[in-house]
Amino acid sequence: MLRVAMASVGPCSRVPCVSLRRRVPYVSRGRRRGLVAGAAAGWDEGGQGAVEELDVSNLLSVLASGEKASSFQFVDVRERWEIARSNLGEERHGRFVILPLSEFDTWSNTLNSVLDLDLPIVCLCHHGVRSRRMCEFLAEKGYPKLYNVTGGIDAVAMRDSSVPPY
């Protein structure tokens, strides 16, 4: 069972941190390979709020097709200065809801009015760590289909020269 708590020290003092309530059992290397292969084939344990990794090529193809992109919600959890420095361009990045993790106290109570429970959510950050934390937080809140962009905007910048790296 996941538990969301607030970090109490350091620069991330208002950022939700996800911790495990119980100890995770050891999984052998062979079993891990089987779980990874199962996850790659679309398998999940049937739990609510499964988080899947979305690679950059899939993100860019979804954003390029307007009709398909309308069936997703896009969330950018980077700071506003990061978005100003590097984004996907007005046409593509205009679809993103900006929810910086540092402003968690501001938007956490109004999340249901900003995001639709029925649509899948794609989360993006700089390298994929903060967006993964956001996905885990949303899973705890009951959002059923969540995607974390693997490598974040940094991986996008490596594939798309119009996106500046930082």
Q: What is the pTM (predicted TM-score) of this model?
A: 0.69
Distance CA 154, CA 166 (A): 8
Crossing angle of helices 152-159 and 56-64, rounded to 10°: 70
Residue with tokens 């978005």: 83
For the record, the structure tokens of 101 come out as 């993790």
CB 133 within 8 A of CB 126: no
Q: Read off the pLDDT band of 15 (50, 70, 90).
A: low
CATH match of 49-159 with 3.40.50.720? no
Distance CA 56, CA 42 (A): 18
pLDDT tens digits for range 82-132: 999 998 887 677 889 999 999 999 999 999 999 999 999 999 999 999 999
pLDDT tens digits for range 120-146: 999 999 999 999 999 999 999 999 999
Q: Report the pLDDT averaged over residues 61-70.
A: 85
Q: How many CB atoms lie within 10 A of CB 107?
A: 16
Our measurement of the distance from residue 19's CA atom to the centroid of its chain's CA atoms, rounded to an integer in Å, reads 17
Of 33 and 134, the one with more pLDDT: 134
